[in-house]
Structure formats: structure tokens, C-alpha cells
Amino acid sequence: MDNVSGDIVLYDTTLRDGSQMEDISFTLEDKLRIVSVLDSIGIAYIEGGWPGANPKDQEFFARVREVPLTNARIAAFGSTRKAGNKVSEDPVVQDLLFAATPVVTIFGKSWRLHVKEILGLSEEQNLAMIGDTVDYLKQHGKEVVYDAEHFFDGFAEDAEFALRSLDAAKKAGADWIILCDTNGGSLPWQVELATRQASSFLGGNIGIHAHNDSDLAVANSLASVLAGARQIHGTIGGIGERCGNANLISVIADLVLKMNLPVVGKEALARLRDTAAFVFELANRSLPKNMPFVGDSAFAHKAGVHVHAVRKVSRAYEHIRPDSVGNRQRILLSEQAGRSNLVEKARQYGLSVEDGDRHFSSLLSKLKEMEFAGYQFEGAEASFELLMRQALESVTPYFSLDFFRIGMGKGEEKESGYAEATVRVRVGSAFEHTAALGNGPVNALDNALRKALGTFYPEIRHISLLDYKVRVLSGTSGTASRVRVLVESTDGHRKWGTVGVSENVIEASLLALKDSIEYFLLTSGARRFEG
């Protein structure tokens, strides 16, 4: 846009602010996988968590150093020093340094209410806490992002007080000063006015961190950009504490497609749906169908008048091209939707196919049946690739499962129970029948399956299980409800996800485990046993 100058950078806080949402919990491996995905779509800053807050975040900052990054810089989050503490001895500040991230984000107070009535401090004490902490971190070579907590509420009550707090951070050397709508109650014209004054006062390098308590976080973020903000904070899908944060998916799409601000390239833009679905699957939640731009219903048409018009001219009822954000037009109850997506996926996997390939009709029918049964392949890309390769290349599986049985018991010397799994596998013309113990039925099955197949494919010893999730697809049938199991595996060099669905959680788990081993053998080029 002509009235917007300077590059806009994206700051993702899914792994910190997003994980504070009720019923959201990412594992360590989830967080590391999400980092790679966010980096791949061009996110400039990824906030990983609060060092020292919990062991998971401590381990994350140690492990994330091993993740190769092309676009993103990792940020550790914390607060200014505590009143009365020397900054060099403040435990929160020291934890931030120990995290060894190139970027440190700290928050401080800009609302007189918090400084005077909650913390019981003078304005001078508050300004000293801000300045001391920023200066100390800069002396240690950090890029410092300063979050002015409750800025818009503070500005509305006492603008001079709020602006002086920003000035303290700027004078101490903060690289970025972020205006936070922490309570999420501001309106777009209020945000634009306050941002414009802050931008004029500071002279640049400001940003916006908006919460969604008034359902305006995206609108407030865009209004702030018009007024001078150059760093936009948000989370994938808008997850976050209370009502969530600005939905970074919508922010990106609006900036690129509506405001002509190329914050990401066309290829990254076209992966927004996949990115959102991936994060939600790891969060063990369904991607809301009505989520703008990327939800299943975003470009779905059911009303007769709409369908008639959109078949002739899609923009009659679609504000953008669905494929620009990785989505697709859906004519509800139509049998034609999805074919082009399959062709594109096949090409991504290196399969030589044409749109008219005779296999696609049957594959599309099978996919529709599987989706109706509860399968989803976001986060289970390995299962989807297997399905396509078996359909398009007539790939013969490395093994088949002939039989399995689970037994549960409790030993005399053990307080907790144990499980025993018996399996029989067929490999070529040979059979292997074996049993193994585990600390639960799924673990026992995993052990038995590996034990049986290890005779034929010893390389599967390199596979290890990273994560295991179960989602009940419908609670209407009580304990007989269908479940979806998502398994994440690794061979030490790469990671992949597989899925299984059944009314029997053990069978669903076994299907996912079976796919995991099959995918490893197929993609690692293992030699087939023909005996």
C-alpha cells in the first residue's frame, strides 16, 4: 500500500502465548516440528516459551539449537527484572540468557493502574526496571523485543505515562517496541490513533501484539500496520489465553492479498491451510471449519443460487482464489471436489501422473470413504503418501498383519499392571508368530510387531516412537465411539506421522504403528524379503 513504508515482519507466539489456551498442550517434539513448519513459510521470529517456567521449555531451548532454520530467529520470553533485584542477579533475566537464543522478548508495564495499584511502585522505579533490563540484555549481545504490556489501556488513561515507558525501552537500546492490547478490549480506530502517536514519538521499529477478547485482534493488527507498526505478533489459528490472539493465518492472508504487502511469498501463502491444519492436529483439535481463509467451509457452497453463480464465475461468491491460501472450492454433495489436489500431492511425491490418470477416480472415492470414517491426514503425511503410492504405483506392502491378540494382567511383585501382545505377520511367503510384554497394550503391540519384523528387516531397530495421540471422533456412542490415533515416529534423522481409525483404540493404534514401519521401509529403500 502506498501509505505503508518499510518491511513488515511476522512474529509467532504459538508455542508460548498459544499454548496458554485452555486444553492446549504441545509436547516437546510437537514444538520442534512446529518450529520447522513456521520457518518454512517465512516467519521471522518464533517465540519458544519462558525459560525456567517448566522443564519442557528448558529442554526446548536446548534442542531447538539443533533445528536448521532458514528464515526464523528463536526468541525466549520473560519479564523485566523484579523490583528490588539487581538485573545481574535476577533469576528471570539469567534464565533468559541461559536459553542462549539470539532474540529475547521481555514485557514491562505501561499502564499506571498496574504500576501504582498492583505493583505498588513509583513511575521512576518502573522506568528503571525497563531500562536496566533492556540495557543488560543488549550488553550481552541480544536482539531485544520489548512488549509494552497493556499499552492501549494505559494510553487511553494516561498517554504521557504510557509513552514514557516506551521511551525508557528505546533509550536503553530495545530493537523493537511492541504495543500490546493485553486485555483485548481496544477498537481499531483507538489502536490506529495510539499506534500513530507512538510511531511519531519513537520514530520507528514498533509492532502490535493483539488479543481477541473483542473479536478484533486481526482488525486491530491491520489498523496498527496502517499507523506505522512493522512487527505483527500472532498465533496460528488465533489460539491463546482466554479468547486467543490475533490469528496469524488471517493476518498473513490479509496483508498479502488485501493490502499488497508481501510478508511471505506465493508458495508459502499457498501452504497456509496445511500449516494451520498441522498445528491444530498436533494440538489434538479439529481445525474449525469456519476459520477464514483455511477452514473447510471457507469456500464451501451449498445454497442453490450460490452454486449456480460460482460455477460460472468463482469470484461471484469468493473474495479470493481458494488455492492462493492452499484451500479449495467445495460444492457440497459434489463428487468432483478434490481431484486436482490429489494430482498436486502426487507430483510432490515424485509420482509421474496426469490429471486423467485412471487410478485417480478410485483413489478419490477411497479417500472420501476414509474421511467419512474419520481419517484425516494433516499431521499424518506418511499414511497419505503410502496410500497414494499403493494406489498409483501398485506398491506391494513389505509385510501384512495376519493376527493379533492382547492380554492384560497383574504380576504378584508389581503394583501396576502389564500387557502382553501376540502377533503373527506375513512377509513374502514366510510367517512369524511372536509375543512381547509392554507397560500397556499399545506399547506391547509395538514391541511385538518390532520383534516379529526384526527377523526380516533388522533396520527397523532405528525407529522410535516420539508421540502418541488419541482423539474420540464422536461421543454419542460412549465407550464404543470411533477414535483416531496419531503416531509420530523418527529414525533419528527425520520424523513422520501416521494415523489409524477404528471403534477399537487398540486396532486404531496398530494401524498407525503398521503404517509407520511400512513408510520407513519404503522410503529408506529397504530390500524386500522374498523368502
pLDDT > 80? residue 28: yes
| pLDDT confidence band for 328 (50 / 70 / 90) | confident
pLDDT of residue 323 exceeding 80 = yes
Which three cell numbers, joined as nine digits, stand for 239? 489460539
Helices (H), 227-374: 248-253, 266-269, 272-282, 304-312, 339-348, 359-373
Considering 163-172, 303-312, 436-445, the range whose residues carry the highest mean pLDDT is 163-172
Residue-range domain boundaries for the chain: 9-264
Q: What is the pLDDT of residues 178-187, one digit of tens each?
A: 999 999 999 9
Find the range with the poorest average confidence among 94-103, 167-176, 242-251, 311-320.
311-320
What pLDDT band is residue 316 in, cutting at 50, 70 and 90?
Answer: low
What does the pLDDT read at residue 465?
A: 87
Q: Which three cell numbers stand for residue 268?
A: 508459502
Higher pLDDT, 391 or 403: 403
Q: Please tell me the predicted confidence (pLDDT) of residue 389.
A: 85
- Averaged pLDDT, 135-150: 97
Residue 99 has pLDDT above 50, yes or no: yes
Which of 239, 188, 181 is CA-nearest to residue 207?
A: 181
d(CA 8, CA 230): 5
How buried is 243 (Cβ within 10 angstroms: 0-12 exposed, 13-18 middle, 19+ buried)? middle
Average confidence (pLDDT) over 363-375:
81
Q: Which three cell numbers stand for residue 346?
A: 502426487
Report the relative pairing of strands 176-181 and 206-210 from DSSP bridges: parallel
Q: Give the model's pLDDT for residue 390.
A: 82
- pLDDT score, position 297: 80
Contact present, 55 and 27 (Cβ < 8 Å): no
Q: What is the pLDDT of residue 360?
A: 73
Q: Residues for the chain: how many in total?
A: 531
Per-residue confidence (pLDDT) for residue 314, from 0 to 100:
64
**The CATH fold of domain 9-264:** TIM Barrel (3.20.20)
Whether residue 376 has pLDDT greater than 70: yes
Query: In the chain, count of helices (H) and strands (E)?
Result: 18, 16
195 contacts: CB under 8 Å, gap ≥ 6 = 179, 206, 208, 223, 224, 227, 228, 229
Look at residue 3 and tell me whether its pLDDT is greater than 60. Answer: no
- pLDDT value at 485 more than 90: yes
Output the CA torsion sign for 126, 132, 137, 138.
positive
Instruction: For the chain, give the mean pLDDT.
Output: 88
- Report, as an integer, the average pLDDT of 355-364: 68
Would you say residue 307 has pLDDT above 80?
no
Mean pLDDT across 75-93: 94
Q: Which three cell numbers stand for residue 134?
A: 533492556
Q: What is the mean pLDDT of residues 108-130?
A: 92
Q: Report the C-alpha gap between 345 and 388 in whole angstroms.
A: 9
The pLDDT tens digits for 253-272 are: 999 999 999 999 999 999 99
**β-sheet bridge partners, residue 465:** 489
Q: What is the mean pLDDT of residues 35-44?
A: 96
- The mean pLDDT value for 3-29 works out to 88
Least confident interval from 155-169, 178-192, 387-401, 484-498: 387-401
pTM score above 0.85: no
pLDDT of 337 reads: 42
Residue 17 has pLDDT above 90, yes or no: yes
pLDDT tens-digit map of 225-243: 999 999 999 999 999 999 9
Does 511 or 364 have the greater pLDDT score? 511
Name which residue leads in pLDDT, 299 or 473: 473
User: Predicted confidence band at 526 (pLDDT cuts at 50, 70, 90)?
Assistant: confident
